[in-house]
Structure formats: structure tokens, C-alpha cells
Structure 1
């Protein structure tokens, strides 16, 4: 007589499920209470600044570790099935909550304020949005942002790709790339200060600005490049963006070009294809995803341009962009309705570019 044995999966008793849920809630509550208490203590304490900074750093590093360790310990008490379901949210959840606190909630609050008047005390509906597209200054800012995207972003991408291709075939590739990439090492504020000296104009006196000094040396007349030469002064400001961001595009494109199979290029040359044909028919399609990523990145960055304009002209002489006009309306004129509306318009302009980029990445298996 034989007996059959039935194996059952290793599952935890059902009466432990409720206990695990309660334990998880307790762990979350303890984390919230403890870290809130530490935050309040550090905020209100009057200890030595150095000790205060050290404690804040230790809390930042150790606190993050403790949060993940305690939550993971609670999740490990669940069955294998529920553990696999919960753990992804455990590790993504804190980052999502932090981003929601820092980005999503302020965005929703800004959207709400855009429907209010300048003092945020009266609901005005879409009046602020209508005013943006009828006010001359705001229309100028929108026009200038379009110029930055059309000329600035396009020039960065084209020059970055051209320099990457040419440098890849030269014997002094590293030196050339280092020189082109060097402006990326400084901030836009520092770049604005540098170029302010380059464009500097001093009427009736000796010209100390580099560009005017060169013009005068060749017998020309000095020009107020960033003030009186409207609307061309916007192009002189855009040149600063090109000077800084071309190096970024060049580095990314150069890395992508290294991935183009050399035997494919050799086969095309043996078949009689010229360099232009190889570039447009082989290289460009092969690195099209990189071109798309760099393009969307620079466009988003260009739409948010602020530092250069504020340092060079302060938004005067018809050089306003949306970001500078937002700063002026919100923080200087205290017109919270206009300022919030400009911020939302800038967000709306950026969203389609980001969505398009994410869709392309999803098609190519990026997600």
C-alpha cells in the first residue's frame, strides 16, 4: 500500500496578513514621526552652525538608509507573491513622494494662481491667459523664445554634429573636443559676465570691449551690440547659448559616432558612396535616436533660458523671454496672476517636447 503526499506552496498563514499590514503602517508612522521630529529639532535649534551642518548631513544620509531599510524589513515579512508586488513601489515611492512635494504640488498651486488676479484674491478665469497674447511685452517675450529655439537650438545641434564628425577624423581630436567643450565648465551667469565684456560699448571713449576693439582696429564704428541693434541684439545673445551648448551636443554625438560600425562605412566607400552620401544615408539614420534626444534636451533648455538675458540686458531693449518676464511680473511687480500664467505657458510649451521624446524612447525599448 502506497501513500501519496501532496506538497503545498510555502505561504504564510492568513492570520498573519492583518498583522503584517498593521506592522507596515506602524513602521511608516514611526518613520514619519521620527524624521518630522528631527526636522523640527534641526530647524529650531540654535547650536553651532558647523555641528548643525554635520548633524543635517548625517540625518540626510542615515535617514534615507533607515527609511528604506525599515520599509524593506516590513515588506520581507509578506509572502513571496505580495513581496514582489510591493517592493517596486517601496523603492520608487519615496522618490515619487519627494518629486510630488517639490514639483507636482507647486505646479498645481501655480495653475490655480493663474486663474486669480494680481493679488491672488479674486477669480478672473482665463483673463490672464488672454492678456498674455495681447500684451506687447509678453508677445515680445514669446517671439524671442521662438527665436532662441529656432536659431539657438538649431545651431547647437548642427554645429555639434558637424564638429563631432570632423573631430572624429582629425589627428588632434582630443584637443579640439576639449576646446569646444570647455565653456560647459562655467555657469551661464559667468558666461554672461564674460560676454558682457566682449560686447561692451562705451560711446565717445576708447573701446575696451573685445568685439568693438576689433571693429575699431579695422576702421569700423563701434556698436552697441546688445542694446541699440534691435532685433539683432537677440541673435548676439543667442550666440552665447551656441558657444556654451555646442560642446554638450558635440560630446553626445561623438559618443554615438563611435558606435557606427566601421565595416559598414568601409563597405559603403567600396561601393562608391561619397562622404556626403555616407553621412546622410548611413551615419544620420544610425544615430537618429541620439539626435532626437539631444534636440529635445536643448529645446527644453532653450525654452527655459533666463540667466544670459538677465545678466546681459536684464530683459531690456526687446530681449525679454518668458522666464525673465515671469521673474519680473511675479517677484518685482508682485503680479502673481500674470507671473503664474507665464509659468504655466512655459510648462505647456515644454510638455509636448518631453512627451514626444518619451514616446520615441518607448518605441526603441528605452522603457
Structure 2
């Protein structure tokens, strides 16, 4: 971690700590939780590096503390993540950290507001999944960064600071206006010519045309600049949006359209973009499948088309036991890219969670990952881990 990056992180943490006492005085309830866990496992090629014989056992410790300040009109969440992993051979240790402050408010019956400041510092390409169903719809967090497939295997580290804010305003009984703006600051430890800054906004209007059907239009603008001599890029994306409640359990939504990409060095191009999500949520199971195509910045030096197809599923076998399945396929194709590398990434996992006591859980997970689109030989990553997690405090 560079000195400037460390300073930015420390400023963010210090500002957050200063704000906590003032926030606490203005809240009706405070909820604290933390989920420390320890795991042991084996990975055949955890960073998908070149060559073979890259397998290693490891132990991993993780903690995710969270504090929520809650009153009638607002919820403020301060959270962090720290994952430390020690490998028995080849790699030494790794440490990934993250933190965010999130505000959600309802100033009036017609207006909902949201703001978030987040920081992430992690190695690119680790075969880790985030549990839970993907957010969908206009009010979801903006996608501001690509998956950096071309940098997988380099063990480069991306440090990203992001600020976002938005509102949802009810214009009438059936019409809603939504807008979300963001700023992103991304830096890389090794390939610094991929460092970039960007900002953008998505504004849309939707109208309920039937009991379970909403239709709308939205427009997005994004502007990215690279530190190296790759110029600046503007992206304009008009799209039609929809949301359909197929049944009380099934929901189908998304947005489709085009992106007009203009780079100050390489010129202009047009590409199809959009996202489609179908989800089923019941008291016993959750399922989501998503497909997304977007023009996004990457650490390879410029904007790329990214296609992502993914699914996640969880099923409660018994009141104490849950199984999860996750899989996704990602493909990058160059719009304006000055660095070549692998362009396809496939990964999947199967997990099992057993509640041993009210607060103690036993977890088991098997994983697979591989990258394609390059002539360089590298072994797939596969492995498994088992561990214990503890629920501390309470969630609200």
C-alpha cells in the first residue's frame, strides 16, 4: 500500500470515528454485529498464476464488524471488513480490507435519499464470492468498475475509493423519478498506468402501468480519465427499463439500450448494453439469475465491453442447515484497450452452513475457477475450505 493510499484510508477512518458520537446522540436505536470466522483449506492455484504446481493449504481469519444507527427517518451504517490469509507455501500471506459508511433516509412520504462512501483494498482475481442476491433496478448501486480479467494472475492490488448518492422521488401515485450519481478513484499497486478516476450519473423515470408492471426510460452519463496517456472517455447510455412481478415470488426486471463511447485518443464507437435479472424469493429459498453487458473501465488501460452471466441460489434444508450455489461467467472484449491478456473468466462454488448453536455456525465450501482467452498455460483453481463463524451482537 502506498503512502498516499494509506493516508486516504486513514482520513476516511478518522472522519468516520469522529462522526460516530454525534450520530449516536441523534438515534433511537444502535445495533452492533460482527461475524468473525476462521477457516482452513486448500487451493490449487489461488491467484490463477502461470505454470503448474501452485497449490497450497492455508488458514484464513475474517471479521466484518457493523454498527447501525437507526431512527424513524434514517438508518446510518458503518461497517468494515478485514480478511487475513496465511498460505503454507508459495505465497506467504495476504490481507484484504474494506470499509463503508451508508446513509438511507426518508425525509418525506414522497422522497427517499441514499448516500455511501466506501473503500476497498484487495488483490485482483481471488476466487471469493460475496453471499446474497444481486441488487436490481434503478435504485441499485452503480457499476463503476470492470472485473480486470486481463490482470488476473499478476497478483496486482486494486485500491478503490467510491462515493455515491441518489434519491427516489414519487411524482404521482404511479410515477417515480430516480437519480444516482457517483465518483470513483481506482489505483493499482503494480500496473499503475491503469489508474483512473471517473464520475457519472443515472437518471430515470418509471411508471406503473399495471398492478405488477412498471415501464420506464433512463439515461446514464460517465466520464473516465486515466493517469497514463490513454486520454479521457465519455459514455452516454440511453435505455428502456422494466420491472414485472410475475407472481408473488418471481420478479423479472432490467434495462436495455446502447452506449455511445467516445475516447479522446481512439475515437468513437457504439455498443449494445443492458441488464436483465430474474429472481425468486420464498421463505425457504432464494434464487437470482442476472445477465449484464456494459462498457466499463479496467486496469488494462481503457474501456472494455464486459458481459457477465451469473446465478446464485440458497436453500434452507432444515431450520438449521442451508446450502448455497454460486456461478458466473465473465467475458471482456476490447472497445479501446492497450493491454492484452486473458478475456474470459469462469468460477463457481457450493457451500453448506450448519447452525451449531444460536451464534456458532459450521461452514463448508468447495470452489472452482479458471480463465481463458490466452495461450499462456496455467492450471485451474479448485479447492475447499471448512471453518467456524460466530455471530456477535445483533443485527437490525
TM-score above 0.5 = no
TM range (shorter): under 0.3
Structure with more contact order per residue of length (Cα contacts < 8 Å, sep ≥ 6): 1
TM-score when normalising by structure 2: 0.21
TM-score when normalising by structure 1: 0.22
